[in-house]
Amino acid sequence: MKFVLLWSDALFFLLIAAMIAGGVWASRQPHLRASWRKVGQSRVAIGSAAVLAVFFAIAFVDSLHYRPQLPATPQGEVRYSTEVLSALDALLLPLRTQTEKTYSAPLATHLFAKETLDDAGRDFPPLRYPGTHLFGTDKVGQDVLYLTLKSIRTALLIGTLTTLIMLPAAIGLGLLAGYVGGWVDDVIQYLYTTLNSIPGVLLIAASVLMMQVVIDTHPEWFATSAERADARLLALCAILGITSWTGLCRLLRGETLKLRELEYVQAARALGVSSALILWRHILPNVMHIVMIAMVMDFSGLVLAEAVLSYVGIGVDPNTISFGTMINTARMELAREPMVWWSLAAAFIFMFVLVLAANLFADALRDAFDPRASR
């Protein structure tokens, strides 16, 4: 067995570490503690946080990648499979390996379509593992529950890494535009109005296609197909990040404009404190609640964006399991007669629960942290 650390894994671990560190830091801040207590008192917040935690745990286990060892060759040489598996795959071994021939309905005992059987003419052939597929199986007989569980990592990565990529730009440029003003403000405003005025899908489609060309012309960069899919996933995050920082940036610019006129900022300026220090000490901590709320709100938007983009074919690598690719294949399945509805239903249920939990949590956070909402 050989461990594999994909780029997205590294970033994901980093993110989780940062979230834990941030949580510890926030719980030590007296001015935040009261707000966190308010979050803790809300039953909705606790419930949605628990759901999110389960999703994150699944994604975490799914990010521990390795290449299994192949049976030793006669020469005694150790070889590894080119297939990259994750700890989740190992945990879900029965789900992954208990495949059928083709479609079967949820918890069915027989295949979905009739086949010519050896002895008795055409009939529904019995399943190899009857009654074990909670959400049925797909065209190649893979368990749909397994697919949805694997999709979670993709969705969470897109939702979180994208925010991570856009945050520095949004915060940095927003604060700078609001605080420095003048031509800096003009340039930044020009930048985000321009970006905003290009239809988002168009911009993303163009960048994704370009990125695809680059990846396809350099096959030597990637040792395994998993690495290639991973690179594509990261690139998608970057592209989404670049096109989605404008909203938060504008919010932060406005808030900074307001904070800049506050007397404690004026007092700091009068004391000769440098602008960088004022931004760091006075402005940033007082806009953090906006950043946090925006992050959780954007998260659900991004999860949905991935589904839409993959559906139109400009999202993740077609080999990456994601809600988007599942929905994409479901398009054909829905057109079949009789209809195969369970992959779409499974994807829909999981996405719905994830996005709903994220939104409820965002609302609870806003109620607790936004000083205007509490009044």
Residues that bind another protein (CB under 8 A): 29-31, 262-264, 266-273, 281-282, 285-286
Which 3-state string (H, E, C) describes the chain?
Answer: CEEECCHHHHHHHHHHHHHHHHHHHHHHCHHHHHHHHHHHHCHHHHHHHHHHHHHHHHHHHCCCEEECECCCCCCCCCCECCCCEEHHHHHCHHHHHCCCCCCECCCCCECCCCEEECCCEEECCECCCCCCCCCCECCCCCEHHHHHHHHHHHHHHHHHHHHHHHHHHHHHHHHHHHHHCHHHHHHHHHHHHHHHHCCHHHHHHHHHHHHHHHHHHCHHHCCCHHHHHHHHHHHHHHHHHHHHHHHHHHHHHHHHHHHHCCHHHHHHHHCCCCHHHHHHHHHHHHHHHHHHHHHHHHHHHHHHHHHHHHHCCCCCCCCCCCHHHHHHHHHHHHHCCCCCCHHHHHHHHHHHHHHHHHHHHHHHHHHHHCCCCCC
Nearer to another protein, 83 or 186 (CB): 186
Q: How far is the CB of 181 from another protein (least distance, A)?
A: 12
Nearer to another protein, 131 or 285 (CB): 285
Nearer to another protein, 54 or 288 (CB): 288
Nearer to another protein, 275 or 319 (CB): 275
Nearer to another protein, 160 or 256 (CB): 256
Q: How far is the CB of 261 from another protein (least distance, A)?
A: 9
Q: How far is the CB of 176 from another protein (least distance, A)?
A: 20
Nearer to another protein, 120 or 271 (CB): 271
Q: How far is the CB of 289 from another protein (least distance, A)?
A: 11
Residue 191 one-letter amino acid: L
Nearer to another protein, 205 or 288 (CB): 288
Q: How far is the CB of 265 from another protein (least distance, A)?
A: 8
The Cα 122–Cα 362 span in angstroms is 54
Nearer to another protein, 87 or 180 (CB): 180
Q: How far is the CB of 185 from another protein (least distance, A)?
A: 13
Q: How far is the CB of 369 from another protein (least distance, A)?
A: 13
Q: How far is the CB of 287 from another protein (least distance, A)?
A: 11
CA 105 remoteness from chain centre: 29
Strands 2-4 and 65-67: antiparallel
CB 101 within 8 A of CB 78: no
Q: How far is the CB of 30 from another protein (least distance, A)?
A: 6
Residue 155 one-letter amino acid: A
The Cα 67–Cα 85 span in angstroms is 6
Nearer to another protein, 267 or 332 (CB): 267
Q: How far is the CB of 293 from another protein (least distance, A)?
A: 17
Nearer to another protein, 234 or 259 (CB): 259
CB 55 within 8 A of CB 156: yes
